[in-house]
Chain A
Amino acid sequence: MSFTAPEIAWGALSPVVIVLVAGIVGVLVEAFVPDRARRAAQLVLAFGAPVGAIVAVAALWDGVSSSGGTDVLDGSLLVDGPTLVIQGVIAVLTLLALLVVADRTATGEDAFAPTAASIPGSDYEELARRKGLTQTEVYPLLLLATGGMMILPATGDLLTLFVALEVLSLPLYLLTGMARRRRLLSQEAALKYFLLGAFASALLIFGVALVYGYSGTLRYSEIAAATGTPSALDPLLLVGAVLLLVGLLFKVGAVPFHSWTPDAYQGAPTPITGFMAACTKVAAFGALLRVYYTIFPGLQWDLDVFLWTVAIATMVVGTVVALVQTDIKRLLAYSSIAHAGFILTGVVALDEAGISAVLFYLLVYGVATVGAFGVVWLVRERTVPQASTDVAADELAEAGDEDLRTSVLGEATHLSQWAGLGRTHPALAGAFALFLLSFAGIPLTAGFIGKFAVFSAAVDGGAWPLALVGVLSSAAAAFFYVRIIVLMYFTPAPGRDDAAVEPSDEDAAPVVESRASDENAAPGEDVALAGADGSSAVATLVAAPTATTTTTVVPSEGLAAVAIAVAAVLTVVLGVFPTPVLDLISDVARFLP
């Protein structure tokens, strides 16, 4: 049997290749570059790769927009307009997310455990922490995940789709478990994410098998041809198609496949949460668009009921459950679920306006998400010496390094801890408020244009009930976004004023879930906080702040601040002058068959 190697069009592949090669080189750097230079080398690679990918996308743009795209690797990958847009968006978002990932506090602490392999609370961990070890493996892992994300929406057959999904998922599972603080929570999240991700992958591959069984091919275009005749409809095909979509809907966090989202988002190191919340969603929606638009147009009527149900459930559950959250990361997680529902309304519109609306929405959502999680990463708990409970957090700047190391703890994720942030740190709170307004879809932010685009595409495509539910739930969603703004600006910080602080909501029962309440015990940190012995997880709320902690913004090397500033500027610019970007996208928003 003879085997002919496929012709490889390296040019068309270049965005993916650049990122993946940088990731692989990064692994080699870990092995061969001495300790001192490792971080620098990794940073060069990590920032170089998405920049290179952006350049490659730009170089490919004209050719694709005039020719409509090409297939490479014998049809396994399709480089067309939507592929390029999504790869470009992912590259931009990765670059922003990397800024947050690479940022360190003024004392050189990053967001990741010194050695992820150590048992939480063990002597080994303590030793690694004292020696100041850091895990630069984060960067190659992140690049490999990015590579998978850039392949996913470009796939031309089901097997490549599955492989790409795994390539993007596996590094993310690892990254989720590598948080520096609250390590048990982080590891628990990683395990949950992994188990459920494996479950979803199994469903997806089962769907692939059924579709293959029906059509005898894995190539999208050939499946489309086989399903084109309506008379040939078969439960086998329908179940296969649903399972296939479920595999992707899991990744976007659509209800009822959303349950991993809050836990994983909460447990993961916050910079990674920002990265995966933004980029995974972009990649998975890209793939979802392609599968829905190119494989199953013949099944549209039958799949509509499925996607409509999922979209409505996603919007309603995401919005309503977010209303009662008391943890900022979980709140943003549920809000991201609700956004998945809004984007789905654009997907089911099934026309060209729908494609470009979804792509634009993904961009603006991703930008605001990376920025918002960047802010969350900077807002920290800080112990206050008993003698001086009324010390203003602003004095932190003058505090010495050693003081910082011991007094600044993990992120202040309980909503009540965000009270008064607008007074103590107006710029940061202002940026956060801007992201929230964009999430809420208030005019003159990018989120408004995005929502307007998907909803009007849905109305145009005849899905007006979806648009109606979308409008209603985004109106309700605005409530919890604005609640945070009120909290930041109008509620005095606890301990600063006699007025009682209303942490979140008057009568919603706290959502009790299994939580490991461990803290990576730092010297001077209250033992009670590090109470978990690492062998048992306790079902409790994340420890509410005690009287001896206050909220502060940790001084950092400034990279996260850059990311937040860029995201804020983009949010405003895309809200006021969206036309150039919308034009760019809608020029090429056509899938190769």
Chain B
Amino acid sequence: MHSLALAATLPAVSPVVNPAGATASGGVWSFAWLVVALPLASAAVLLLLGRRADRWGHWLGVLASTGAFVVGLLAMLEVLGQAASSRVWDLRLGTWIDAGALHLDAGLRFDPLSLTFVLLVTFVGTLIHVYSVAYMEHDTDRRRFFAYLNLFVAAMLLLVLADSFVLLFVGWEGVGLASYLLIGFWNHNTPYAVAAKKAFVANRVGDVGLLVAMGLMFAHFGALDFGTVLADPAAHASEGTLTAIGLMLLLAACGKSAQFPLQSWLGDAMAGPTPVSALIHAATMVTAGVYLIVRSGAIFEAAPSAQLVVVVVGAITLLFGAIVGCAKDDIKKALAASTMSQIGYMVLAAGLGPVGYAFAIFHLVTHGFFKAGMFLGAGSVMHGMDDQVDMRRFGGLARYMKVTWITFMMGWLAILGIPPFSGFFSKDKIIEAAFIPTDGAQWRAWVFGTVALVGAGITAFYMSRLFFMTFEGERRWTTRKDGSEQHPHESPALMTWPMIVLAVGSVGLGLFLALGNRFTGWLEPVTGHVEHEEPVLPAGVLIALTLTVVVVGLVLAWRRYATATVPVVPPLGTALTRAARVDLYQDAVNDAVLVEPGQHLTRSLVYADHAVVDGGVKGVTHATVGLGALLRRLQTGYVRTYAATMLGGLVVLLVVVLAVQS
């Protein structure tokens, strides 16, 4: 399955993106493909065995995910053992398509970037698998749920390990499919089905972007593997072309990562089971867009306008998500808005160029931990509260679910960016990077830096609001759905332990990775080494400013949601609040801009296909009464319409051909 010859020449030390890796063979590389194959095989077994695997199926799922993590860990240790310059390894799997002009190889690329994702996906994924064993205990289709989870893990790993855009696209579609299946897992009722549909449509729009980008690459580079395309894009295509490719890649990223203007599906996707929200819609899949942008960094660097659009999209989404997050009463939807906003930070960082890549990925990793932890916490709250999601019906839960409360608090402090929790080290760096002028353009530093700074303040407000409304203040819960008294209780150990592990990550991971620039150094073979540049304000001032706005946000939330009484019925609120509750009218905008014109196009085409020609023909038949009567008696339907369509079409086409010719 894989080639065996060790490449004699290792790539030269290169300060920029490393285009071609060493051919991997022997040692850990002889079984590294298992990292994808294990969960895939497990998914296949679980689906094929059907009900026979019901009793032990979930443990097989956990085992497959753990196995993938172990393989990923071994691969990372192997890579860590190499010098920084030779940390990119290509594992050839074989030729996929080879016919004439078409030549596609299938291969996996193990480099620091992909390995970071592999470890994140498999580690968090395994924890969430364990959590799901308990969370889905009463679901009769638990085995199928684990099959989909494994399928997702396999597809996600393929996405990040692929060494070409085509194979990446396979994984891209795979995670889309798995996410679609998982959002729709409880889709026995219509709103869930609508949510799944919405996610599907947004993702398809994004996919078109990726497909068009691939078409453009193929036309200009003649290949789609990273080695060829990313080596030196500017040598093969003009800046205009690269800008187009970049914008199309950005569109793809927006669809997958719920960035403006394709963000509306993420909130609705919360209809799926909570572990799914934690794994797919917080830690991994939604960050695939960030991966795509960082991976294609070479293209964006050669197309500054596309890069600017990336930053703008990130900045808009960052604020958008934060504002929406302030108004949501549904705990999962508030977390979803927060995810959107945090990914906005990552996209913004990725758009800043090499200076931001490492921080984008750094924040992605820490966010993967604390956000997944908080989602699992939300799931634990729902578990103990009879699936209640309205935060106005929580309150004072800290006393009843101690473990959930503490672990959630760690995640909350991390996302706020309080030192020394994880988020401080990653988010603060992004804010600092945003304040660094690009190409000497001071205004960009000020605008984007300020947006990132303000976003941090709003984040502090809405996350604290969420935390206080749920765990502090007085109890506002009354009865269960069936009318009996609500008895909040702590979740079983299988659920709390993953939360504890993630909370430990929320506390210490940032510091661990930031010490001595461990993480940025690790990513350097991919992102390139960047000379330190000075932001427009001194770093110390920025940290102080950030902490100030964060504390202000926190105190505001404390006064409104912890010390004051929270109304059980949401107050009318200001115009902004009302707009934020309905996602700033994004659905209405989508309807007006996309759905309605689409429907009009459909209707008019259907109309034309069946009515216009028919109407014209009816006029003719009225004139030729005899023929019309004959046709009516034959009752053949509208065959005359069809013939007229053909003839009319033919005449039009002939006129066009002749007109063009002369």
Contact = CB atoms under 8 A, between A and B. Distances in A.
Interface stretch (A139-147, A158-166, A400-408, A500-508): A500-508
B187 A579 contact: no
A490 B194 CA distance: 11
A61 interface: no
Contacts of A486: 184, 187, 193, 196-197
B571 interface: no
Given A259-B641, A475-B211, 12 more contacts: A195-B636, A196-B639, A200-B646, A239-B654, A242-B653, A246-B646, A259-B642, A321-B606, A456-B101, A460-B219, A467-B215, A586-B100
Interface string B637-662: 11101110110111001101110110
Interface in B606-662: 606, 609-610, 635-639, 641-643, 645-646, 648-650, 653-654, 656-658, 660-661
A230 to B, nearest CB: 11
Contact of A203 (B173, B212, B650): B650
Given A310-B653, A467-B215, A490-B184, A479 B639 contact: no
A471 interface: yes
B177 interface: yes
B208 interface: yes
A196 B197 contact: no
B603 interface: yes
Contacts of B646: 196, 199-200, 246, 250, 256-257, 259
B169 interface: yes
11 contacts: A238-B661, A246-B650, A306-B656, A353-B100, A442-B177, A443-B173, A457-B101, A489-B184, A509-B603, A579-B97, A582-B102
Nearest to A538: B635
A32 to B, nearest CB: 37
B99 A513 contact: no
Contacts of B564: none
B200 A482 contact: yes
A320 B95 contact: no
A238 B212 contact: no
Interface string A505-524: 00111010111000000000
A320 B605 contact: yes
A288 interface: no
B638 A514 contact: yes
Interface of B: 50, 95-102, 166, 169-170, 173-174, 177, 180, 184, 187-190, 192-193, 196-197, 200-201, 204-205, 207-208, 211-212, 215, 218-219, 599, 601-603, 605-606, 609-610, 635-639, 641-643, 645-646, 648-650, 653-654, 656-658, 660-661
Contacts of B602: 320-321, 323-324, 508
State the main secondary structure of chain A at its contact with B.
helix
B174 A471 contact: no
B500 to A, nearest CB: 35
A578 B98 CA distance: 8
Contact of B636 (A188, A472, A497): A188
B329 to A, nearest CB: 26
A193 to B, nearest CB: 9
Given A317-B609, A479-B204, A511-B610, A490 B177 contact: no
A427 to B, nearest CB: 10
Give the size range of A's interface with the partner.
35 or more
Contacts of B208: 471-472, 475
Nearest to A507: B599
Interface centre among A235, A457, A475, A492 (most CB of B within 10 A): A475
Interface in A426-456: 426, 442-444, 449, 452-453, 455-456
Given A310-B653, A456-B218, A583 B98 contact: yes
Contacts of A475: 204-205, 207-208, 211
B218 A508 contact: no
Contacts of A352: 100
B642 A444 contact: no
A536 B632 CA distance: 10
A320 B601 contact: yes
Contacts of A305: 656-657, 660
Contact of A464 (B177, B188, B215, B657): B215
Contacts of B180: 482
Interface centre among B100, B169, B201, B637 (most CB of A within 10 A): B100
B638 A513 contact: yes
A475 B96 CA distance: 23
The 4 closest A-B pairs by CB, nearest first: A256-B649, A514-B637, A582-B99, A259-B642
Given A259-B645, A475-B205, A479-B204, A233 B650 contact: no
B212 A353 contact: no
A508 B648 contact: no
Contact of B188 (A192, A242, A482, A492): A492
A453 B102 contact: yes
A309 interface: yes
Contacts of B96: 578-579
A128 B290 CA distance: 68
A591 interface: no
Nearest to B637: A514
Nearest to B101: A353
A471 B209 CA distance: 9
Nearest to A313: B649
Contact of A583 (B99, B606, B656): B99
Interface centre among A203, A460, A490 (most CB of B within 10 A): A490
A256 B645 contact: yes
Given A513-B610, A582-B97, A263 B660 contact: no
A499 B189 contact: yes
Contacts of A309: 653, 656
